[in-house]
Chain A
Amino acid sequence: MMTSAEATPLLQVRGIEKRYGARIGCTGVDFDLYPGEVMGIVGESGSGKSTLLNCLAGHLAPDAGQVVFDTRADGPVDTVAMSEPERRMLGRTDWAFVHQHARDGLRMSVSAGGNIGERLMAVGARHYGDIREQAVDWLGRVEISETRVDDRPSAFSGGMQQRLQIARNLVTGPRLVFMDEPTGGLDVSVQARLLDLLRGLVREMGLSALIVTHDLAVVRLLADRLMVMKDGHVVETGLTDQVLDDPQHGYTQLLVSSVLQV
């Protein structure tokens, strides 16, 4: 019986390594991410998961390895070897990055509508009416009232800022979203709303995503696959519920058994 699993990877990561002097940030990271797949990267603080995400997203230059992205125009291209302007263009079009702290991903002195519109203008949108219309549409999709379109994000709650950051990132229709602890620092009820929103958007837009988090409940609900990191190394990978229900590596077993049941 044939299933629909056949496809070419959107992202092929090979041998990524980043060192800070003698200390290992991350090393020997290999994986393929397919269109529509959501992969969680978990591990405790200092495990190298954020370093890895920043290497993959082009925010840090890895010391070794390739990050091959299947671009719309030219097919698979190694983004590590790309020129800086090319990589920046990718960061504004096919890629998006959701920071843990919304203020790192937003312009706090610009209105909510402006924050969304700015990313559209960066890819060439010029018509004010269209930009405003799309900004309002996206505010609605992330459940922010249209009446707040001219307010600055500094007047928003943490959860609203995070939703605005997501709107700003997704308005250009990216194919790959990097998320660094997207629900970190938010109240549990606000987290649930954000998770629900992210899941809906991932499905509707057919997004692929890499989500770094230390929250296993978040990956259980959002991620198809998991990668577990410890001391800069990948210690286990697999289907999310398999890794959580039947962890094979001692460290993963410790991680899973340390979660408080509610």
Chain B
Amino acid sequence: MIELHDVSKTFTLHNQGGAVIRVLDKAALRVEPGECVALTGASGAGKSTLMRLIYGNYLAASGQVLVGGTDVAHAEPREILALRREVLGYVSQFLRVVPRVPTDEVVAEPLLTLGVDRDVAMARATDLLARLNIPQRLWGLSPTTFSGGEQQRVNIARGFVHDYPALLLDEPTASLDATNRETVLALIDEAKARGAAILGIFHDVDARNRVCDREIDVSRFTPGMAA
């Protein structure tokens, strides 16, 4: 479902003397449907970079980044947008929303964009918000003023509202209490059971051991850091 072949990533800093920074070299991996794979490696090894290359907000310098058959490294913007709407979900660590939009709308938005009936989309959104213990009195408010943990849970609800065949999870259990952490792990298990291919970064070792089937150490793709 997610397949990387010989992917490299460099940053060229044109305004700093054209310095070229190599961050990933010959990265290769494969995530099958129904499988959850953890990216590991020290901070700075390139875990988040790899996730962004797959989501398409970073541009690969070379290689192939295949998600459900679309090569994100070479696809047109509209192909990547369609992929993100239908196939590829991403739970990042930051919630970026239009101010003033109520929380239930923020969560339902991926479904509304897909043309799902409004009542169905809102029901699914509030269902997830309830599961993630966001109090009902907050559903009609914008999440911009929420606490870090609440924003994180809104972000997770938004990422799981559509049954994406492929999911990227960046620290999904960070800043969550025990109860909510259990809920997130259950959501991940359910996604795996319906056949989603999941790639994640989990600093929470216990969580990683519970939901992940394999680990990939990103350090072996880091130029100059290979063991």
Show the binding face of A for B, using Cβ within 8 Å. 1, 3-5, 34, 37, 192-193, 195-196, 199, 203, 220-221, 224-225, 238-239, 241-242, 245-246, 248-250, 253-254, 257
B residues with CB within 8 A of A: 11-15, 52, 56-59, 68-70, 76-83, 85-87, 96, 98-101, 112-113, 165
User: Quick check: B78 and A246 within 8 Å, CB to CB?
Assistant: no
**What chain B residues lie within 8 Å of A238 (beta carbons)?**
59, 77
The CA of A225 and the CA of B81, in the complex, are separated in Å by: 9
Partner of A246, one of B59, B101, B165: B59
User: B98 contacts A4, CB within 8 Å?
Assistant: no
Bound Cα distance A197, B31 (Å): 39
What chain B residues lie within 8 Å of A249 (beta carbons)?
Answer: 14
Enumerate chain A residues within 8 angstroms of B15, measured Cβ to Cβ.
250, 253-254, 257
- Distance to closest chain A CB from B115 (angstroms): 9
- Cα A199 to Cα B109 in complex, Å, equals 11
A153–B13 CA distance with the chains assembled, in angstroms = 48
In the bound complex, how far is the Cα of B85 from the Cα of A4, in angstroms?
9
Given the complex, which residues of B lie within 8 Å of A195, measured CB to CB? 98-99
CA distance A34 to B79 in the complex (A): 11
Distance between Cα atoms of A3 and B82 in the complex (Å):
6
- Sampled A-B contacts (17; CB under 8 Å): A1-B69, A1-B165, A3-B85, A5-B76, A5-B79, A5-B83, A34-B78, A196-B100, A199-B98, A220-B96, A224-B78, A225-B78, A238-B59, A239-B56, A239-B81, A242-B58, A248-B12
Contact yes or no, A192 B82, CB < 8 A: no
Chain A residues within an 8 Å CB radius of B13:
253
CB pair A245–B52 under 8 Å, yes or no, is yes
Inter-chain contact B98/A221, CB cutoff 8 Å: yes
Distance A239 CA – B113 CA, assembled complex (angstroms): 17
Q: What's the Cα separation between A53 and B83 when bound, in Å?
A: 29
Asked if A3 and B100 make an inter-chain contact with CB atoms under 8 angstroms apart, the answer reads no
Are B87 and A3 within 8 A (Cβ)?
yes
Contact A224 B113 (CB under 8 A): no
- In the bound complex, residues from chain A placing their C-beta under 8 Å from that of B96 are 220-221
Question: What CA separation (Å) do A199 and B57 show in the bound complex?
Answer: 21
In the bound complex, residues from chain A placing their C-beta under 8 Å from that of B100 are 192-193, 196
Q: A225-B77, A245-B52, A250-B15 are in contact. Are A1 and B68 (CB under 8 A)?
A: yes
- Across the interface, do A3 and B79 meet the contact criterion of CB distance under 8 Å? yes
Distance of A213 from chain B, by nearest CB (Å)? 15
Contact, CB under 8 Å: A5 / B99: no
Q: Complex formed: what's the CA distance from A34 to B82 in Å? A: 12
For the complex, give the distance between the alpha carbons of A203 and B13 in Å. Answer: 36
CB distance from B76 to the nearest CB of A (A): 8
Q: A3-B83, A249-B14, A254-B14 are in contact. List 10 more A-B contacts (CB 8 A).
A: A3-B82, A5-B81, A5-B83, A37-B81, A196-B99, A196-B101, A199-B98, A225-B77, A239-B81, A246-B58
Q: Is the CB of A245 within 8 A of B83?
A: no
Q: Is there contact, CB below 8 Å, between A246 and B82?
A: no
